[in-house]
Amino acid sequence: MRHARFWGTLAFRLTAGYVLAGLSLVFLATAGLYFVLVTELERNTDLFLADKLHVLRTMLRERPNDWDALREEIELESAARRYEHFYIRLLDERNAPLLTTPGLAEELDLREFSRQVQDAPEHAVAMKGRHWQSFRVTSATAPVGFPPTHTDTIQIAIDVSQEEELLARYRSWFWAILLGTFAIFPWIGYRIARHGIRPVEEMATTARHISSTNLHERILPEGYPSELASLADTFNKMLDRLEESFERISRFSADIAHDLRTPVNNIRGEAEVALARARTVEEYRDVLGSCLEETVRLSGLIGDLLFLARAESPLAHLHRERVDISELLSGVREYYEATAADSGVSLITAAPPGQVIAEVDRMLVQRAVGNLVSNALAHTPAGGSVVLGANSEVAKIRIEVADTGVGIPPEALPRVFDRFFRVDSSRSQTSGGTGLGLAIVQSIMLLHGGNVEIASQLGQGTRVTLRMPTSAPR
């Protein structure tokens, strides 16, 4: 994270977004205000011009011979004003000047003035004065007398340099504000972005610290905004799962070590005792026999472990074939019949022949059912029964092994599929199994895309249900 390029960071992106948004907003607001100001000033000037024209035209129409009043209006009124300079020229029909505000010729090029106002009669247009002042100029015809005897022309120019200056000052401010925004916004944006990202970084720091030795550590979601709290929660849940599987794996390795060590120690002990002095052939035979028993157990255990490891590999594949499940169950029953008879338990199959058909790996399903039957027989006292059943469901088959045995305590039920888990783990190694049987059943079901469920009542019996799709999923 620290080494990531600044351009690629979230903080940079957020900052860039803020700056862009801020700049556009400030730009739009100031530019809008500027536009309003320009149009308002222009409108004011034009109203003033229109007003003046109106007054003069009224005077010419109604009092055409009142030269004193006209002179007052054209020559004196403008001169009396201090800040607002405007100039008026009254021309007769032949365009000879009758009255002119003093100073007009110094301010404006008269020929240019006439040309400009002629081009746009009754409209105010902008024009530059002799000293580069800004003017707005307009003209209008004025009928003289009522009814009119002839028509004069009024030309009028107003100096708008002050307004122009105001606008120029406004423009400087505009650029200054824009520059200021550009200077300050990245900083503000960066602060906001950092502030928003800090919890994520804290999380990352916590996550970095977590290793196999402190898997119990969690991110405290207090004080985080809700989106991040839910991220923290998700992360914590992931840690829960990791911790659980990590524990399971460590337990598993400890169990493997333990289960391998016991038979090896037994073999070693017997061999050492046997070699301590000379033995009879009978005694050697006994020792060899029990060593053989232990090695059979050992290789069974190793075979189971190998099977589980292979079944977990993504390369594991099945040899699917059409299997009549009731036939398969009968096969399993025949295999266990002797054992069941020995322990006085009746072993029954209750599946209609030829009706439950599925494409499965015969050997594996046999093994799964065999594991279940061996469990059932091991936990059912004499006089009890073990029933193997099967039926078809929609696109699925169901196999059931139910016994009337001792049952499993509810608190142990969720763990029976764990490797090496045995309800009564204190039971002697030779009589009890290794605790891999149900784990193998489960992985066989997973390989087939199916599942396994177990239900049990203490003292009443246990029922294990296998469900598999009738054919390989496409």
Ligand X SMILES: Nc1ncnc2c1ncn2[C@@H]1O[C@H](COP(=O)(O)OP(=O)(O)OP(=O)(O)O)[C@@H](O)[C@H]1O
Residues near ligand X (CB under 6 A): 371, 375-376, 379, 403, 405-408, 416, 421-424, 432-439, 462
Q: Decide if residue 370 touches Mg ion (CB under 5 A).
A: no
Quickly list DSSP for 141-170.
EEEETTTTSEEEEEEEEEE-HHHHHHHHHH
Q: What span, in angstroms and rounded, lies between the C-alpha atoms of 262 and 268?
A: 10
Instruction: Single out the segment in contact with Mg ion by CB under 5 A; choices: 4-12, 109-117, 202-210, 430-438.
Output: 430-438
Structure tokens at 399: 């196999």
CB of 338 to ligand X, least distance (A): 18
At its nearest, how many Å lie between ligand X and the CB of residue 292? 19
- Helix, strand, coil % over all residues of the chain, rounded to 5: 55, 20, 25
Write down the least CB distance from residue 349 to Mg ion, Å. Answer: 20
Structural element, H or E, at residue 26: helix 10-62
User: Cβ of residue 452: shortest distance to Mg ion, in angstroms?
Assistant: 13
224: left (phi over 0), alpha (psi -120 to 50) or beta: beta
Q: Is 405 in the site for Mg ion (CB under 5 A)?
A: no
Put residue 282 in one of left, alpha, beta given phi > 0 → left and psi -120 to 50 → alpha: alpha
435 binds, among ligand X, Mg ion, none (CB under 5 to 8 A by kind): ligand X
Give the CA distances from residue 321 to residues 89, 356, 387, in Å, rounded to whole numbers and listed in that order.
114, 14, 25
Choose one: 101-109, 315-323, 324-332, 373-381; the region binding Mg ion (CB under 5 A): 373-381
Strands 346-350 and 385-393: parallel
Choose the contact partner of 408 out of ligand X, Mg ion, none; CB within 5 to 8 A by kind.
Answer: ligand X
- Give least dist CB 403 to ligand X, A: 5
Which CB atom, from 108 or from 438, has the smaller least distance to ligand X?
Answer: 438
Q: Which stretch binds Mg ion (CB under 5 A): 150-158, 285-293, 422-430, 435-443?
A: 435-443
Which entry of Mg ion, ligand X, none binds 436, CB below 5 to 8 A by partner kind?
A: ligand X
Sheet arrangement for strand 385-393: 346-350, 385-393, 396-403, 461-469, 451-457
Contact present, 379 and 453 (Cβ < 8 Å): no
| Min separation Cβ 396 and ligand X, Å | 23
Nearest Cα to 144, choosing from 70, 90, 65, 64?
Answer: 64
Q: Closer to ligand X at the Cβ: 168 or 249?
A: 249
Per DSSP, the residues of 270-316 read HHHHHHTS---HHHHHHHHHHHHHHHHHHHHHHHHHHHHHHHHSTT-
Of the two residues 180 and 414, which places its CB atom closer to ligand X in the complex? Answer: 414
Distance CA 87, CA 47 (A): 15
By CB under 5 A, tell whether 435 contacts Mg ion. Answer: no
Applying CB under 5 A, among 189, 433, 450, 461 the residue interacting with Mg ion is 433
Among 78, 375, 380, 462, binds Mg ion (CB under 5 A): 375
CB of 437 vs ligand X, minimal distance in Å:
2
Q: Residue from 189, 263, 437, 461 that binds Mg ion (CB under 5 A)?
A: 437
* Number of residues engaging Mg ion in binding (CB under 5 A): 3
Is 30 or 434 the residue whose CB approaches ligand X more closely?
Answer: 434
Angle value at C-alpha 196, between 191 and 201, nearest 5 degrees: 105
Which run of H or E residues covers position 29?
helix 10-62
For residue 434, the partner it binds in Mg ion, ligand X, none, with Cβ less than 5 to 8 A by kind, is: ligand X
Minimum CB separation of residue 392 from Mg ion in Å reads 27
Contacts to Mg ion by CB under 5 A: 375, 433, 437
